[in-house]
Amino acid sequence: MRCRECNADLPAEARFCLACGARIEVAAPEAPADALLEVLVNAIGFQYRIERLLGRGGMGAVYLAHELALDRDVAIKVLPPEHASTPELRERFKREARTAARLTHPHIVPLHTFGEVSGLLYFVMGYVAGESLAARIRRQGPFDSEGARTLLASLCDALDYAHRQGIVHRDIKPDNILIEANSGAPLLTDFGIAKATLTDAQLTTAGQLMGTPHYMSPEQAMGRADVGPRSDLYSLGLVAYEMLSGQRPFEAESPLDALTQRLTQAPRPLGSIAADVAPDLAQAISRCLQKDPANRWPDAKSLRETLMPTEEESEFAPPVRVLQTIATIVLPLVLIAFGYLRVIAAVHPDSQTIDRLTNVLASFVAGMVVVSVVLVVRLRVEGLDLKGIMLKALQQPNWWRSWYPRFLRRRGDVWDRLPRTMRQFRMFKGLLLTYMFAVFVPLQFMTLWERRLPTLRQLLFVAALTGLSLLFVLRRRAVTDMRARSGGAVAEAAALLNTPTWRVSVWRRTPTASLLVGTTTSRRSAQSESNPTVTRLANSNDDDRSTQA
C-alpha cells in the first residue's frame, strides 16, 4: 500500500503515512454476497421479484418480494439447502407451513403457498407493512391501559381460534406480533415451533425446551412435552406486562436465569412498576402469570371476555342500570328544572303554582334518593365497594355519543383514537343538544309564558339555526374524511358518526379499524422518525432466540 501524497510504501495496517503524516483512507470492506438470495432468485425469480432481506434467524431467512402474477407484496421464508438436508429441520419447516396453512384469521399472518425447488424449501406469507410489537415498545414506550386492552383482545381472538384448531403456538413474544401500519391491527406470526396436540408428539420429547427463554411458561421451562393452550396465555401475560410497564416481570440477566426465576419466584406486581394501569387489567394479567396452569384463565376466550366483553350492553346488572339512569338522566333533568323554577320564583315571588311545582319536584327527588340508597345497599351486600358502585353509576351511558371523562368511559372506548373531524362533530353535537334541552326549550317556554323578551327569543332562534348549520358542515367534513380513510360508502360513514365509541365489535372490523388514529397511546412522547418502518418477520438475531435444546 502506498501513500497518495508522497508515494511512500506503507504497511497494510497503517492509518497514517510514516513519512508525511497524511491520513490513509481505508476502503470499507464490501458487503458479503447473499448466496441464499442468489439461489432464491434463480429458483423462483420468474414468479417473484425479490426486493430485500427482512430478517434472518436460525431456521432461515425472510425476504420481501413482489408476486408478479397477482401484483402484491409478499414475504418469503426460506430454509437454506444446508439446513434442508437435516431431516428434523426439514420436517419442522414443513410443519410450520402446514400449521400456518390451517389457520385463517384476521389476526394471524396468512400463508399463501409452499414450494420446494432444487433442495430449497420456502413458503410465501402475507406481507405486513408495519413493525413488530417489540419495535413499537422500543419506539413509543409503554402502552396505556385502553390501547393495550384493545390489542390484547385481538390477540386473544387469534389464540382462541388457533387453540380450537388444536394448535399451541409456544413462542408468543413481542417479536412474533406484527402491527399493521394503516389499521394498527396486531397479527400473530411464526408458528415454527407450534404444536398440534395430536400429530406432533413425535417431534417434541420430554426435556426438550421449545420457545424463547424470557417468554417461556414454567411448564416449558421444565421441558414438559404436554404443554397446552394455557402456556400461550402465560406467555401472553408476559407480553402484556412488558407492553404496560416497558419491563419484564423477571429481572433476568441470562436465558438460564430467566428459566430459573420462572420456576422459583413470583413475578413483580405490575402495579409496583406501572401504577396507572387499570386495576381490572392488572388483575387479568396477574392471573395469566400464575405458576400453576390450573390457576390461569381456562382459555383465551375467557381472558378476552374479561378484557373487553363482546356483549357490551349486557354487562350491567339491573340495579346498576337503574342507578345509572338516575345519575345520568333523572338527576341532570331535575337540576335543570329546579334551576328554572328558582329563576321564575325570583321573578314571581308570590306565585303559589311555582311553590307547588317546587314541592312536587322535591318529593320526587326524595323518592329517587330512597330508591338509590336501597340499590346501593343491595349492591354492597353483593360484594361491591362504594367507590365501584359510584363509578358504575356514573359510567358512560349507552346513549351518549360525545366526549366523556376518561376514567368514566367504558372498557374498549376508542374516543381518543377517532379521527379529529369525527371528534369535532360529536363534541359539537353534544354541546348543541345540551343547548337545545337545557337553554333553548326552557327559555322559549318561559318567554312565551311571560309574553315578554321577544328579542331574547329571536336570539335563541338565531343561535339554534347557526348551530344546526355548523353541525351540518362538520358532519359533511367528517363523512368526507372517513370515506377518504376507509373507502366506504356515504351511508356507512354516516352510520359510524353515531356508533358508540365503546362498541368494540364494530370498531374492530377491518374497514372501520383503519379509521382509528393509531392502536396505541404511549405514556411518553414518540420519537420522531422520518422513515417508515417495515416488518421484521420474527427472524431476529437478538438475545431472545428461540431455544431448542
Q: Position of cell 363523512?
A: 479
- Residue range 318-342: mean pLDDT, rounded: 88
Q: What is the pLDDT of residue 13?
A: 60
- Is 57:545 a contact under the CB 8 Å cutoff? yes
Q: How many CB atoms lie within 10 A of CB 313?
A: 12
- Is 25:12 a contact under the CB 8 Å cutoff? no
pLDDT per residue over 7-65, tens digit each? 777 776 666 676 676 666 655 444 456 788 888 898 898 999 999 898 887 677 899 99
Q: How far apart are CA 476 and CA 464, in angstroms?
A: 18
The least confident of 38-47, 107-116, 419-428, 500-509 is 500-509
Q: How far apart are CA 122 and CA 100, in angstroms?
A: 13
- Look up residue 237 and give its DSSP letter: H
Q: Three-class SS of residue 74?
A: strand
- Residue range 310-319: mean pLDDT, rounded: 61
Can 171 be counted among the known catalytic residues? yes
Most confident of 78-82, 294-298, 392-396, 438-442: 294-298
Q: What is the pLDDT of residue 369?
A: 92
- Residue range 385-410: mean pLDDT, rounded: 87
Q: How confident is the model at residue 199 (pLDDT cuts 50, 70, 90)?
A: very low
Annotated catalytic residue: which of 144, 171, 175, 413? 171
Q: What is the pLDDT of residue 23?
A: 64
Q: How confident is the model at residue 436 (pLDDT cuts 50, 70, 90)?
A: very high
464-491 burial code (b ≥16 CB/10 A, e <16): beebeeebeebbeebbebbeebbebeee
Q: What is the pLDDT of residue 432?
A: 94
pLDDT at residue 336 is higher than 70: yes
pLDDT per residue over 497-530, tens digit each? 888 888 776 776 666 777 776 544 344 433 334 3
- Is 534:64 a contact under the CB 8 Å cutoff? yes
- Residue 107, C-alpha cell as written in the block: 389476526
Greater confidence (380 vs 182) lies with 380
Strand-pair partners of 187: 178
